[in-house]
């Protein structure tokens, strides 16, 4: 049984509550997939040639949170977290592990980015926009995209975690 509480999103709520609840559900799911792993286990790659690791997935999702909510939605000019010299629009940010990378540090950075994302969205309408590829993009679209992004990577985390210690589901 997980020590992390993951409430089921409400079955009949308004649009914003539904979107935010599903996004939080998937954020919590990723945290649950990290439970019980030490730094060595979290750095084990799935299956060659893939270099996916649990720590890399968490780092990547910190970059994704930063990109969509801070850069795109809020228009902040912030560098990449894990490679400050990298192009901030690079799609694979965060997957590569530095020699001193730890799961604990990655989780703390990711949680800080989630907190900042929530701050930036609080009080904003789903129709409020940021800029992406020289076009307006609504907060609604960003929420839907983030749900998809987390769902996809949670599937990757399932496969990596199963390889590491046989844990499945969650």
User: Global pTM?
Assistant: 0.92
pLDDT tens digits, one per residue of 111-146: 999 999 999 999 999 999 999 999 999 999 999 999
pLDDT tens digits, one per residue of 58-98: 999 999 999 999 999 999 999 999 876 666 655 568 888 88
15-165: which CATH architecture? Up-down Bundle (1.20)
Task: Report the half-sphere exposure of 39 (CA within 13 A, side-chain side).
Answer: 10
Task: Count H helices and E strands in the chain, helices first.
Answer: 5, 2
* Mean pLDDT for the chain overall: 91
Q: What is the pLDDT of residue 111?
A: 98
* Residue 119 CB coordination number (10 Å): 12
Average pLDDT of span 10-22: 96
**Which segment of 39-43, 97-101, 123-127 scores lowest on mean pLDDT?**
97-101
Q: What is the pLDDT of residue 86?
A: 66
The structural domains of the chain, with segments of one domain joined by +, span 15-165
Q: What is the pLDDT of residue 141?
A: 98
Which residue, 21, 23, 29, 5, is CA-closest to 157?
A: 29
Burial class for 9, CB neighbours closer than 10 Å (0-12, 13-18, 19+): middle
């Amino acid at each position: 049984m997980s020590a992390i509480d993951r409430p089921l999103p409400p079955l009949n709520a308004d649009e914003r509550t539904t979107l935010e609840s599903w996004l939080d559900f998937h954020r919590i799911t990723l945290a649950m997939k990290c439970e019980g792993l030490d730094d060595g286990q979290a750095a084990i790659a799935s299956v060659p040639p893939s270099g996916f690791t649990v720590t890399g997935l968490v780092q990547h999702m910190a970059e994704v949170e930063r990109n969509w909510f801070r850069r795109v939605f809020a228009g902040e000019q912030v560098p990449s977290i894990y490679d400050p010299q990298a192009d901030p629009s690079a799609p694979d940010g965060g997957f590569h592990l530095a020699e001193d990378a730890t799961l604990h540090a990655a989780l703390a950075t990711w949680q800080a980015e989630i907190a900042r994302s929530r701050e930036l969205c609080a009080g904003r309408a789903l129709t409020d926009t940021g800029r992406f590829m020289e076009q307006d993009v609504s907060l609604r679209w960003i929420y839907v995209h983030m749900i998809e992004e987390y769902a996809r990577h949670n599937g990757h985390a399932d496969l990596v975690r199963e390889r590491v210690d046989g844990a499945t589901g969650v």
